[in-house]
Amino acid sequence: MAGKKKFPISRRNFLKVSAATTAGVSMFSLGSCNVNKVPAPLKRKFGKHDFMVTTLGLGGQASLQWTPADVDPVPIILKAFDLGINYFDTSNLYGPSQQNFNKAFQQLKLIPGQEGYNETLRQNIWLTSKTCMRWGKPGWVQRENVSNWSNGENVQCAVDDLKRSLTQIFGDGQGTYPEGAYLDMMLIHTLHNTDEVDVLYEGLETPLDPSGNFGALVALRDFRDGTNLTGMNPKNEKLIKHIGFSGHNNPPAMIDMIQRDDYGILDGMLIAINANDRRQFNMQHNVIPVAAAKGLGIIGMKTFADAAMYHKEPRWSREPQDVFRQVGTPEIPSRPLVEYSLTTPGVHTLIIGIGQIDDDPMKCQLVQNFYAAQIESDGLTADERKNVEKLAGGIKEGKTNYFQLEKIGLQPPRELQKREVEGKIVLTWQTAYAGDEPLKSYEVLVDGQKAGEVPHLPQVLKKQPFQFELETSGTEITIVAVDAGGNRAETKLT
């Protein structure tokens, strides 16, 4: 059955545009401030939120962070607004990125208190920044495997990073921000492991002691709700609307982060997802289904593996020379890579960093990514997605995703327990981790005989494990995880 492709401009017409432009005939103007003939961007409901997000978002890295000498990053932001893009991403770690947004926002009248402030436009975009601080208050003691860092001077906790974002994007860059300034979402950025998750949930899973220390989540919640339970928000400011997190490499830690949220904290997740995802400990069959079931707004990133799909070796970018400034290559078109990420079930929008824009639409990364992103969530068939995976697998032998954990395949159910409840034997277990295929079900075996089966549904809370009641107990109990490909992995309880 063919997949549905509902582009504002059809593939056939897109190719006509491409051919005409290559021949030097401009079919429409795509200057930084004249894109009136570009169709309205496709939008998707952003998780549980009352917000329709464009399928393409503007990433805050590439030339917004590592700006080449001949590139002005501000017109990139302005052109994204002209195209109708409404999701914008930046971070305290991205060098001048937040200041570049400030320059663009000055021109767009998006600074509260500014003469002509366009409050309607501000309400119709979603602006996200990030912090890599795990603690919510200064004075934390370093813990093993827990990272805390920022590009800002005197930044000692996540609250400092929040205020730094506001002063750089909306204020004077020196600590002052205007009344009415806010972020739509603050992400706990690049989650590495469960030790960091433990810190983030201090003050939520443990008693909150304002005189001691606590994790970033409970502190940021004060600035979301206008409360001062932590003592960090004495003015009862509301500076963020939503809180989320991001991760590049560790599905178990990211699942743990979601499953421990019994407090209504998390609203969004930024996650690495591209066509080489299944060559690693994959996100698409593990983290994304859990986040989607929880109602999080899901943002994809690293569709080009931070340019490792193209000119750069697989490593983090560090300098302007790392910024890719072409629209794909003849061997590796950018469009199927974008389409793959956006047809991964659960993904709502995809942020892409832009190296450069151009008046020629065929040379403009932003315009080409815009058109590539005009695809419905079911816009590729399973076979088409496999073809994109085959294409990506030929790039650097498929070893582009340096930021993900190594592939381990289907894993068995975890933490199998047996207990007696009102005369019945109750088995419980935590979710298995998927391999090449999505999880399908769990078979319950007693002394080698099948006693029943439990369908796999994404487990959204750790305290709500999978459960099965036995009529009688045997000598050996086995729970078998079964995926859609028929693969099996078992855990025994003797």
Q: Compute the mean pLDDT over every residue in the chain, rounded to the nearest whole number.
A: 92
DSSP class of residue 12?
H
Is residue 286 left, alpha or beta, with left meaning phi > 0 and alpha meaning psi from -120 to 50? alpha
Q: What angle do CA 122, 123, 126 make, to 5 degrees?
A: 80
The whole-number average pLDDT for the span 453-457 is 98
Task: Return the CATH fold of 414-493.
Answer: Immunoglobulin-like (2.60.40)
pLDDT of residue 10: 43
- In whole angstroms, how far apart are CA 315 and each of 63, 301, 311, 320? 17, 15, 11, 14
- In total, the chain counts a number of residues equal to 494
Task: Return the CATH fold of 11-398.
Answer: TIM Barrel (3.20.20)
pLDDT of residue 39: 86
CA 252 to chain centre: 15
The whole-number average pLDDT for the span 63-77 is 98
Alpha carbons 285 and 450: distance in angstroms, whole number: 26
pLDDT digits (tens, 9 = 90+) for 262-316: 999 999 999 999 999 999 999 999 999 999 999 999 999 999 999 999 999 999 9
Contact 41, 85 (CB under 8 A): yes
- Tell me the one-letter amino acid at 152: G
pLDDT of residue 472: 76
Sign of the torsion angle spanned by Cα atoms 56, 60, 62, 67? positive
Sign of the torsion angle spanned by Cα atoms 285, 273, 83, 365? negative
pTM over 0.85: yes
Task: Please report which confidence band the pLDDT of residue 34 belongs to, taking 50, 70 and 90 as the band edges.
Answer: very low
DSSP class of residue 71?
-
Tokens 């930046």 map to which residue?
Answer: 90
Residue 268 makes CB contacts below 8 A (sequence gap 6+) with 47, 128, 185, 187, 242, 243, 244, 245, 296, 297, 298, 299
Q: Does the pLDDT value for residue 398 go beyond 70?
A: yes
Alpha carbons 17 and 11: distance in angstroms, whole number: 10
Tokens 């990030």 map to which residue?
Answer: 130
The tokens describing 310, both together, are: 């193209």
Task: Please report which confidence band the pLDDT of residue 4 belongs to, taking 50, 70 and 90 as the band edges.
Answer: very low
pLDDT of residue 15: 39
The whole-number average pLDDT for the span 62-85 is 98
Sequence spans of domains, the chain: 11-398, 414-493
The whole-number average pLDDT for the span 59-72 is 98
The 3-class secondary structure across 308-377, one letter per residue, is: CCCCCCCCCCCCHHHCCCCCCCCCCCHHHHHHHHHCCCCCCEEEECCCCCCCCCCCCHHHHHHHHCCCCC
pLDDT digits (tens, 9 = 90+) for 82-93: 999 999 999 999
- The answer to whether 11-398 and 414-493 have equal CATH topology is no
pLDDT of residue 475: 84
Tokens 């017109």 map to which residue?
Answer: 75
